[in-house]
Amino acid sequence: MDGDTTTTARSEGDGRQGGHALPQVSAPRNPGMPLDLDRVMRVQANTSAIERRCAALPGRRSIKKDWQAAWLVRAIQCIDLTTLSGDDTPGRVRRLCAKARRPLRHDIAEALGVEGVTTGAVCVYHAMVPTAVAALKGSGIPVAAVSTGFPAGLSPYRLRVAEISESVAAGAEEIDIVISRRHVLTGDWQALYDEVAEFRAACGPAHVKAILATGELGSLRNVARASLVCMMAGADFIKTSTGKESVNATLPVTLVMLRAIRDYHELTGARVGYKPAGGISTAKDALMYLALVKEELGDRWLSPDLFRFGASSLLGDIERQLEHHLTGAYSVSWHQPMA
Amino acid sequence: MTVQEILETMEYGPAPESAEAALAWIEEAGGAFGHFIGGLWTEPGEGFDSRNPATGDVLARLTQATQADIDAAVAAARAAQPAWEGQGGPARARVLYALARLLQKHARLFSVLEVLDNGKPIREARDIDVPLAIRHFYYHAGMAQLMEAELPDRRAHGVCGQIVPWNFPLLMLAWKVAPALATGNAVVLKPAEYTSLTALLFAQVCQEAGVPPGVVNIVTGDGAAGRMLVHAEVDKIAFTGSTAVGREIRRATAGSGKALTLELGGKSPYIVFDDADLDSAVEGLVDAIWFNAGQVCCAGSRLLVQEGVAERLHHKLKARMDRLRMGDPLDKSIDLGAVVDPVQLAAIRSMVDAGGAEGDVYHAAVQVPEGCYYPPTLVTGLAPSARLMQEEIFGPVLVSTTFRTPSEAVALANDTRYGLAASVWSENVNLALDVAPRLAAGVVWVNGTNFFDAAAGFGGVRESGFGREGGWEGLGAYLREDWPAPLPIPHPAPALAAPQAAPGIDRTAKMYVGGKQARPDGGYSRAIRAAGGHLLGHVGVGNRKDIRNAVDAAERAEAWSRMTGHSRAQILYYVAENLAARTGEFAARIDAMTGGDDGSKEVEAAIRRLFTWAAWADKHDGAAKGVPMRGLALALNEPIGVIGALCPAEAPLLGLISAMGPAVATGNRVVLIPSEPFPLAATDFYQVLDTSDVPAGVVNIVTGAPADLAPVLAAHAAVGAVWNFADPALTRAIEEKAADTIKRTWSLRTDWHAPQAEGRSFLRAATEVKTVWVPFGE
């Protein structure tokens, strides 16, 4: 495995506003470890118990008033503001990047005392990487590129590896790779490990987020085992979904992946990040995801270097909630500037 | 804190539920409550303060019930009950439905009031206690609607005295009141003195729901009031609380004819096998032992973990404990609230202080507020012999030990006086479903804990009590049936002036113990004479050692309980076949002893009865309950174990068969005390058993005086139930002795030739429902 465990994905000295050092750069990378199949096969995930824990969570944790506002601001900081559409154009991507730089209406940000808050990253297809890099220049916001034959991951292996290098060369600092679901479904853990390890190597200094496509893995046990294998192979983040599966991020899947991250941390000391993606569209959902992360992994993970939301419409709802927090009146979408 | 500052800490912040409406309700009542009797409130009288354990504040002034209050409440219930039962099930169903709806409408008020009174987290009252209480009334509205068609021969007891504990004040009220009302009983309920407020609010709801005055009466007070209620003119007592008080109630009601159900303490095992989802098992422990701060009768308080994963599990558990949040019970993000009262806090503290040194005590690294709070605690490294491993703590204290194999897990799990609940964690369905039936518990949760529902029976075995709450099995506890009058007992013959030899070769009637004929331990025999007075033979005079030997033999015959119903049926049919072959001989024996001439009729009836129980052996089906969960809640009819039966005097053979048949058909082993005046039919009968492949120890026969033997049986810890079909005068002594080990008793005199003498009541008496919850999903 490459020895770049402390390499930061980004150069220092990016111009950042408001003195908020984005912490994306602070965590040492996951060095990975040899595939430990005994450990992988020992992993269990009891679906109904996991579902009960998640179903009870909203009743167990309630975040109100200023705390809710702060948590929602943190949620914004953790958003990978995303557009992954066939009709993406440079203009559309530039608008998105502008929104990433200034996700909150200026008066709302000011009233909350959180001017300078940005989203965690902007996430686009390879073709849009140069546009996004240019649009975000000087903001400190990294560009993430989905890669490796996203979303199905079934293009020629050689091309999938090459796609990573091209996106990195184009300036992407984070690469969201998709794994070959068939390796999980057939129990070929070695193949999965080798694939992710090679993707990781191809990323070089760019952080690698391994998309498991949990909606296609058949069982939570498979999700748990695949999570562990991807981390052993050196994934910096594990991510639920492409957003294109019929079932994307859910709390049960999240609980399973967070527990895998915790086990891996205890085993190796390495902190791997988590990114739920797809289907998280309300501020309330976002609070529950953050609460679950806090419960299972602790406060250290409540930070953009270790936690991201892959979401396109979440920001809008958070903006409305924050306006409501300030005014006491419910808001509408057209009060918030579009992306 | 500013938003900026919170961003640094990412704390949860406060999320308080308002107490305003609940406090306003108390204030509206003037801050003081009387009793609710006959649909009216009595003037508040001498009494005591009800306090909020989280703050120590006085919430309200409550009235201590006097004897006159109890009498008035029971009289009001007595007066109201016939009309209530007479209304019929469908009319009662509407009232129960209204109660359910009104509880739902006032759900938040009940929740907050419960929190103020008890100290449990609002999350639990709001999401668990109150919804379950509501569900209980809905479910029993349906029971009221259906019971007349489904249970046509059964009737309400009349007036039920109900005593509920402080840990689930409203929920336990619902568990008691809903089935009682559904079946047409009237109730006098006494809530625990720490937590009476939701019961008083419920009284108000009863008025709104149109419950006729006197059908529900609520009296407040401490244990003294409870004692008065137990001694009052009630037909049934239903109690949930400690084993010590349950025992006292059993003694107090002994021989009174009052029906009784007891739901008592526990030290429920929580078994984690090495293939379990350990993280989920840890999360399950949060619900098992930190739910309601461990003040839960069925709390999974005894962690048994397979040795190879113990260290990992304990490590994960401690980390999880450190993340629990203790504090203001009205805060919506609190996991543990206050302990119910400083008295309880002191009890928990003293137990851990005294016993903790036998293991390693770990207190969670949580902020423990000032006052009535005890931190989540884990004690590892305890041996089964440690006091903390055996005694109920009733607080947020988990104790732990390890096991090597599934059999050892079962042995450790069952190494307790209690038998309320158990949890089994394994991803292997073969293992989990093998272990579940072997656990001595009324409820078993597979890969989960503390699942409850109105449709699923809940209750214990051993010293955790008897009777079930919930489901059809729970409904039965509020119903009785009328029995035909017994036939007269023929007079035993007087001895002739001069001793006379029995005709033919001298035959020695012995006891029958463990498949062998046994001489009486005491070495005494008693002459049995024919109706004409001449000697028929001698039988041994059994004593306590004969009972001991018989119970030992019965215990050892445990394989019978695991045998298939089909196999048991085959053996019972074979017994019938062999008895039939000797009809003439048995008929003559009966006629000779009793001086009657219908011995052949009795033998014929006995053969028919054996056929009936053989038929039932493979048909006493369990059920899969319709619980609101993706999973199964299986009601399994499990044998009691060893049943001691005092057989009726007047039907020497039929009476014996009537006791033996249902017991062994359902998998029990029996110790039978045959008809005292006419025992020779029983001693002849063991030869039939011998020739019918009945395994040794399944049926044991000890002749002797029931008055001497019954108390020994009732006191024997290995006997699960005592049936007294012989002499009602013995019931009191039996029930007093049975209190020591909280065993079930049944006293019945009836016409043994009647069809009811082979009815379902016998099946119910011979089995206890075990509810096994198996959630599933991949």
The residue among B615, B663, B656, B609 whose CA lies nearest residue B639 is B663
Name the stretches of chain B with pLDDT < 70. 497, 499
Domain count, chain A: 1
> CB-CB: which of A59, A70, A113 is closest to B127?
A59
Residues 6+ apart with CB under 8 A from B607: B576, B579, B580, B583
Distance from CA of A210 to the nearest CA of B (A): 23
How far away is chain B from the Cα of A76, in angstroms, using its nearest Cα? 12
Task: Give the pair of three-digit tokens for residue A135.
Answer: 């649009």
A49 touching chain B per CB within 8 A: yes
Q: Count other Cβ atoms within 10 Å, centred on residue B192.
A: 25
Nearest to B7 among A46, A51, A74 (CB): A74
Residue A114 lies in a domain: yes
- Asked which of A10-24, A115-129, B215-229, B258-272 is least confident by mean pLDDT, the reply is A10-24
Euclidean distance between CA atoms A316 and A138, whole angstroms: 24
Whether A117 has its CB under 8 Å from any CB of chain B: the answer is no
Positive or negative torsion for Cα A305, A306, A311, A314: negative
CB contact under 8 A, A46 and B447: yes
Tally of CB atoms within 10 A around B8: 11
Q: How far is B696 from chain A (nearest CA, A)?
A: 44
CB pair distance less than 8 Å for A60 and B333: yes
With cut-offs at 50, 70 and 90, classify the pLDDT of residue A287.
very high
Task: Pick the residue of B1, B4, B6, B11 with the most A CBs within 10 A to test the interface with A by mutation.
Answer: B6
Tell me if residue B298 is catalytic.
no
Q: Rounded distance, CA B255 to CA B250, Å?
A: 10
Residue in B9, B275, B277 nearest the CB of A49: B277
Chain B interface includes A19 (CB < 8 A): no
Sort strands B268-272 and B300-306 into parallel, antiparallel or unpaired: parallel
- Among the listed residues B85, B114, B193, B263, the single catalytic one is B263
Residue whose pair of structure tokens reads 């009595």 in the numeric block: B42
How confident is residue A19, by pLDDT bands cut at 50, 70 and 90? very low
Q: Measure CA of the first residue to CA of the last residue in chain A; give whole Å.
A: 39
pLDDT of residue A12: 37
Written as six digits, the tokens of B88 are 């019929």
Q: How confident is the model at residue A13 (pLDDT cuts 50, 70, 90)?
A: very low
How many C-beta neighbours within 10 Å does residue B53 have? 26
Whether A116 contacts A20, CB under 8 Å: yes
CB contact A57 to B (< 8 Å): no
Is residue B747 within 8 A of residue B728, CB to CB? The reply is yes
Measured between beta carbons, the chain B residues lying within 8 angstroms of A48 are 447-448, 630-631, 775-777
SS3 B533: coil
A283, A253 contact by CB (below 8 A): no
Tell me how many helices (H) and strands (E) chain B has: 28, 31
Chain B positions touching A19 (Cβ under 8 A) are: none
Q: Is residue A246 part of a domain?
A: yes
Question: B391 to chain A, minimum CA–CA distance in Å?
Answer: 29
Q: How many angstroms separate the CA of residue B659 from the nearest CA in chain A?
A: 44
CB contacts of B7 in chain A (<8 Å) are: 70, 73-74, 114
**Contact residues on chain A for B6, CB-CB shorter than 8 A:** 66-67, 69-71
- Flag if B127 and A294 touch (Cβ within 8 Å): no
Interface of A with B in 189-218 (CB under 8 A): none
Closest CA to B739 of B189, B409, B262: B262
Closest approach of B334 to chain A, Cα-based (Å) = 7
How far off is chain B from A44, nearest CA to CA, in Å?
5
Strands B699-701, B631-639: pairing kind: unpaired
ipTM: 0.95
Q: Are B60 and B198 in contact (CB under 8 A)?
A: no
**Strand, helix or coil for residue B642:** strand
Nearest to B284 among A49, A294, A295 (CB): A49
H helix or E strand, kind and range, residue B139: helix B130-150
Q: Give CA–CA dist B291/B279, Å, rounded.
A: 17
Q: Indicate the helix (H) or strand (E) that contains B775.
A: strand B767-775
List Cα–Cα distances, A223 to A187, A255, B398, in angstroms: 12, 10, 31
Under an 8 A CB cutoff, do B777 and A113 touch? no
How many beta carbons lie within 10 A of that of residue A194, not counting itself? 14
Residue A26's pLDDT band (boundaries 50, 70, 90)? low
Residue of A nearest to B282 (CA): A49
- Asked if residue A28 is part of any domain, the answer here is no
Rounded-to-integer distance, Cα B432 and Cα B273, Å: 9
Using a CB-CB cut-off of 8 Å, the residues of chain B touching A46 are: 276-277, 280, 425, 427, 447
Chain B interface, best mutation among A20, A38, A48, A251, by max B CB count within 10 A? A48
Write the CATH number for A60.
3.20.20.70
- CB B126 to CB A56 under 8 A? no
- In this structure, what are the phi and psi dihedrals at residue B758, rounded to the nearest 5 degrees? -130, 35
Q: Are the C-beta atoms of B506 and B535 separated by less than 8 Å?
A: no
Please write the tens of the pLDDT for every residue from A34-87: 999 999 999 999 999 999 999 999 999 999 999 999 999 999 999 999 999 999
Determine whether the interchain pair B7/A63 forms a contact, defined as Cβ–Cβ distance below 8 Å: no
Tokens read off for B185: 């009983």
**B333 to chain A: nearest residue by CA?**
A61
Cis bond before residue B628 (omega within 30° of 0): no
In B569-668, DSSP assigns E strands to: 623-625, 631-639, 642-646
B contacts of A53 (beta carbons < 8 Å): 280, 283
Residue B695 DSSP class:
P
> Considering CB atoms only, which of A53, A62, A67 is closest to B6?
A67
SS3 (DSSP) at B480? strand
Would you give the distance in Å from CA B486 to the centre of its chain?
Answer: 29
Q: Which amino acid is at B114?
A: E
pLDDT of A269 higher than 50: yes
- B425 closest CA partner among B443, B444, B399, B438: B444
Active site residues of A: 176, 239, 275
* Structural domain containing residue A125: 3-21+34-335
Among the listed residues B434, B369, B416, B480, the one whose alpha carbon sits nearest the alpha carbon of residue B717: B416
Q: Are B606 and B647 in contact (CB under 8 A)?
A: no
Beta strands at B377-380 and B397-403: parallel, antiparallel or unpaired: parallel
CA–CA min distance A47, chain B (Å): 6
The DSSP element (H or E) to which B58 belongs, if any, is: strand B58-63
Q: Is the pTM of this model over 0.90?
A: yes
Read off the pLDDT of each residue in A244-263 and give the average, rounded to a whole number: 97
- H or E element: which one contains B348? helix B342-355
Is the minimum CB–CB distance between A63 and chain B shorter than 8 Å?
yes
All residues of chain A having their beta carbon less than 8 Å from the beta carbon of residue B333 are 60-63
Distance of alpha carbon A231 from the chain centroid: 15
CB A129 within 8 A of CB A172: yes
* CB-CB contact of B77 with B218 (8 Å): no
Cβ-Cβ pairs closer than 8 A, A with B, add up to: 104
Chain A, window 262-291: residues with a beta carbon less than 8 angstroms from a chain B beta carbon: 290-291
- Distance between CA B505 and CA B734 in Å, rounded? 39
Let me know if residue A27 belongs to a domain: no
B157, two tokens: 């007891």
Q: What is the sign of the dihedral through the CA atoms of B30, B33, B36 and B37?
A: negative
How far is A146 from chain B, CA to nearest CA, in Å? 30
SS (H, E, C) chain A: CCCCCCCCCCCCCCCCCCCCCCHHHCCCCCCCCCCCHHHHHHCCCCHHHHHHHHHHHHHHCCCCHHHHHHHHHHHHHCEEEECCCCCCCHHHHHHHHHHHHCCCCHHHHHHHCCCCCCCCEEEECHHHHHHHHHHHCCCCCCEEEECCCCCCCCCCHHHHHHHHHHHHHCCCCEEEEECCHHHHHCCCHHHHHHHHHHHHHHHCCCEEEEECCHHHCCCHHHHHHHHHHHHHCCCCEEECCCCCCCCCCCHHHHHHHHHHHHHHHHHHCCCCEEECECCCCCHHHHHHHHHHHHHHCCHHHCCCCCECEEECCHHHHHHHHHHHHHHCCCCCHHHCCCC
Q: Which residue has the tokens 């979408």?
A: A333
Q: Can you tell me the distance from the alpha carbon of B439 to that of B271, in angstroms, rounded to the nearest whole number?
A: 11
Q: Pick from A52, A60, A67: which is nearest to B13 by CB?
A: A67
The structure tokens listed for B632 are: 């199964």
* A185 touching chain B per CB within 8 A: no
Distance separating alpha carbons of residues B242 and B448, to the nearest angstrom: 25
Q: Are B603 and B587 in contact (CB under 8 A)?
A: yes
Give the residue numbers in B contacting A (CB under 8 Å), as ranges: 1-4, 6-7, 9-15, 123, 126-127, 275-281, 283-284, 323, 332-333, 335, 425, 427, 447-448, 630-631, 775-778
**Burial of residue B628 (number of CB atoms within 10 Å: 0-12, 13-18, 19+):** exposed
In this structure, what token pair is assigned to residue B761? 């009541």
Give whole-number Cα distances, B294 to B297, B454, B710, in Å: 8, 22, 39
Residue whose entry in the numeric block shows the structure tokens 């049943």: B643
Contact between B427 and A74 using a beta-carbon 8 Å cutoff: no
Which of A49, A73, A302 lies at the smallest CB-CB distance from B3? Answer: A73
Query: CB-CB: which of A48, A52, A59 is closest to B776?
Result: A48
Among B228, B231, B219, B214, residue whose Cα is nearest residue B192: B219
What mean pLDDT is predicted for residues A300-314? 96
A277 contacts A309 by C-beta, under 8 angstroms: yes
Can you name the residues that pair with B624 across neighbouring β-strands? B634
On whether any CB of chain B is under 8 Å from the CB of A111, the answer is: no
Taking the CA of residue A61 as centre, how many other CA atoms within 13 Å lie in the half-sphere pointing to its CB?
A: 25
CA torsion, ordered B104, B108, B109, B110, to nearest 10 deg: 70
Closest Cα partner for B476 from B761, B86, B132? Answer: B761
The single-letter DSSP state of residue B745 is E
A104 to chain B: which residues are within 8 Å by CB? none
Q: Active site residue: B297, B298, B372, B647, which one?
A: B297
Contacts of A165 (CB under 8 A, 6+ apart): A202, A204
Helices B583-594 and B680-690, axial angle in degrees (round to 10): 160
